[in-house]
Amino acid sequence: MAVGGSMAGDKGYLKGLLKKACAYCKGGPWGLVRDFYRNKPSGYFKDLATMMPTVKDNGGDPRCPVNGKLSGVFFGVTPWDGDLPIRSPFGDTRVKVPLERVFDESARLYFADFYCMSGQTDNHYVTLVLTKAYSPADEFCHQHLIHLDERNNIFLMKEAHKFNHRDLVSTLFLGKVWVEVFYTHKVPMQGLELTTTDVLGSGRSTQGGIPKTNGCPICNL
């Protein structure tokens, strides 16, 4: 759900970021994806019945309108070599959520951020927000974010009950773009399976989030 407070940015700034993101991602090949995925340390999933939304941290662009103001559950969607990534910086245990379970006809998709992190400028991130139409979170997103056509956008789109996603390998910069989806509603664990993956680094999220790289010409206005 949305929480109160003043805006950290505006749609004009977001439009500039979206233009940068589209330019960087343009020309990337399309791939068919079926699942969202989420990695956490194994203890997170112990006796967990429902993944509950939590308030977005301050990671990414400091002017991202959802930072500290919107609650959700983060998922990845970008494949690696045609399949799910074999390792994750966020934990050793992964849950997959079929896209049709949350990205149904009631869902609305919004653009929220485009950024890279210090020392990792070859890896860029696009943050999308997925809501249920007419929910409080959707009202917040409608006011502060940029709505994307769920069936015609460069990041994640539905096509005849299938889901297409750009693999996002830029032909200009030869970099990578990872699309992350911030889903603003709880996700029951019923029927979902857990798998073990390798980890990168500490294998857990950085408390408070990692800020955007200052001065990167790709993702800074």
CA atoms within 13 A on the CB side of 185: 17
Q: What is the pLDDT of residue 117?
A: 86
On whether residue 62 sits in a domain, the answer given is yes
CB of 113 within 8 A of CB of 17?
yes
Q: Which of 28-42, 57-71, 112-126, 195-209 has the lowest mean pLDDT?
A: 195-209
3-class state of residue 82 by DSSP: coil
pTM, to two decimals = 0.89
Domain total of the chain: 1
Q: What is the pLDDT of residue 171?
A: 29
CB of 38 within 8 A of CB of 97?
yes
Distance, in Å, from the CA atom of 7 to the CA atom of 116, rounded to the nearest integer, reads: 22
Q: What mean pLDDT do residues 46-54 have? A: 97
DSSP secondary structure, 28-44, as one string: PPEEE--EEEEEE-HHH
On whether residue 149 sits in a domain, the answer given is yes
Q: Which domain holds residue 90?
A: 30-199
Per residue in 138-172, pLDDT tens?
999 999 999 999 988 988 888 766 666 654 432 23
Q: What is the pLDDT of residue 80?
A: 79
On whether residue 25 sits in a domain, the answer given is no
Q: What is the pLDDT of residue 165?
A: 61
Distance, in Å, from the CA atom of 113 to the CA atom of 62, rounded to the nearest integer, reads: 10
Per residue in 68-127, pLDDT tens?
999 999 999 988 777 888 889 899 999 999 998 999 889 999 999 999 987 777 789 999
On whether residue 23 sits in a domain, the answer given is no
Distance, in Å, from the CA atom of 178 to the CA atom of 121, rounded to the nearest integer, reads: 12
On whether residue 24 sits in a domain, the answer given is no
Count, residues in the chain: 221
On whether residue 167 sits in a domain, the answer given is yes
On whether residue 123 sits in a domain, the answer given is yes
Q: What percent of the chain has a predicted confidence (pLDDT) above 90? A: 59
Q: Is the pLDDT of residue 2 over 70?
A: no
On whether residue 9 sits in a domain, the answer given is no
Distance, in Å, from the CA atom of 14 to the CA atom of 19, rounded to the nearest integer, reads: 8
